[in-house]
Amino acid sequence: MAQVDFVDELTPGPAVTQAPVQTSWVGHRQSWLSLALGYLGLAACVALIGLPLYWMVIGAFKTTAEVYRMPPTWLPATPTWTNFVKAWESAPFGRYYINTLIVTLFGSGFEIFFAITSAYAFVFLRFPKREWLFLLLLAALMVPNQVTILPNYLTIARLGWINTYQGIVVPGASVAYGTFLLRQYYKTLPLDILDAARVDGAGHLRVLWSIVLPLARPAIISFGLLSVVAKWNDFLWPLIVTNTKDMRVLSIGIYWLMVEEGTIDWGVVMAGTLFVVLPVALIFLYAQRYIVEGIAAGAVKG
């Protein structure tokens, strides 16, 4: 499995034994020139992607005067925490965190639950029109959420769910991508173990809970993390379905903070963006391997 090699390589630690496939465009032998070019390229990648991120972090620690200084300073001359305090005080970020947590936990919870159970049904249960129903589910992948926002807004409004958690969560609770991903993974599980359990009298729910779930853990974690990140960052739907300050999520909160403070104090706004970005950055640092594996699994299939 290609994506497994890839993930092994990404994992720091002594377990890395797989030599990378050589596709050098300079030559199969590493000359000093190719090495120099290689490291120059790495430096360019770091500068290109890393600099804006660095600028966000460093901006949050600069005083108002320093933010507007030209030429810019690469390290804050007098690092300050006041931007964080100001950002926290100028918007109810505590409330935003709670809202975002609730929406993310329930949104991803539903997605992960539906993916686990739907994939099980499509792999291990026999029922009429199974393939047809699976196609119906897959076809939903071709309909982006954005196309459905207007009718869904009307539905949510009719249900009286504007400015509610269920209004944000329920329309996005169903899952096609995760079902597809886990179905692919379930298919690789050793059937002997499952058959043995069935012969021993275990029912489907029992097999799902105590055999399939533990075996499929890596795939479930990968998909779960992608789902959590997507829900945490979601912008368009929460923007439409909420219109009171106390129901805003972090991504909407930071947008309004920028609209209100933007031209006045970039330090405060950068501190606010860090509030939004930090939890995801921490998750990413901790579980990079699983996230990357989940993304690569969708692309390379046998």
- By CB under 8 A, the residues from 143 to 162 that bind other proteins are 143-155
Count of residues binding other proteins (CB under 8 A)? 111
Rounded distance, CA 96 to CA 31, Å?
Answer: 54
42 binds other proteins (CB under 8 A): yes
In 11-92, alpha helices (H):
32-45, 51-60, 64-67, 82-90
Out of 107, 270, 271, 290, which residue is the one contacting other proteins (CB under 8 A)? Answer: 270
Closest CA to 176 of 136, 226, 121, 213: 136
Q: How far is the CB of 14 from other proteins (least distance, A)?
A: 13
Among 80-88, 101-109, 193-201, 234-242, which window interacts with other proteins (CB under 8 A)?
A: 234-242
Out of 135, 136, 196, 213, which residue is the one contacting other proteins (CB under 8 A)? Answer: 136
Among 47-55, 82-90, 194-202, 212-220, which window interacts with other proteins (CB under 8 A)?
A: 47-55
126 binds other proteins (CB under 8 A): yes
Out of 31, 33, 69, 206, which residue is the one contacting other proteins (CB under 8 A)? Answer: 69
Out of 56, 101, 102, 162, which residue is the one contacting other proteins (CB under 8 A)? Answer: 56
Out of 103, 168, 170, 212, which residue is the one contacting other proteins (CB under 8 A)? Answer: 170
Would you say 22 or 78 has its CB closer to other proteins?
A: 22
State the DSSP H helix or E strand holding residue 144, giving kind and residue range, or none if neither.
none
Rounded distance, CA 48 to CA 66, Å?
Answer: 23
Rounded distance, CA 213 to CA 143, Å?
Answer: 29
Q: Which residue has the tokens 């500068």?
A: 47
Rounded distance, CA 120 to CA 183, Å?
Answer: 7
Interaction pattern, residues 201-230, with other proteins; x per rule: CB under 8 A: ---xx-----------------------x-
Rounded distance, CA 30 to CA 24, Å?
Answer: 9
Interaction pattern, residues 72-111, with other proteins; x per rule: CB under 8 A: x---------------------------------------
User: Dihedral through CA 217, CA 291, CA 123, CA 184, nearest 10?
Assistant: -130
Those residues with Cβ within 8 angstroms of residue 287's Cβ, 6 or more apart along the chain or in another chain: 221, 225
33 binds other proteins (CB under 8 A): no
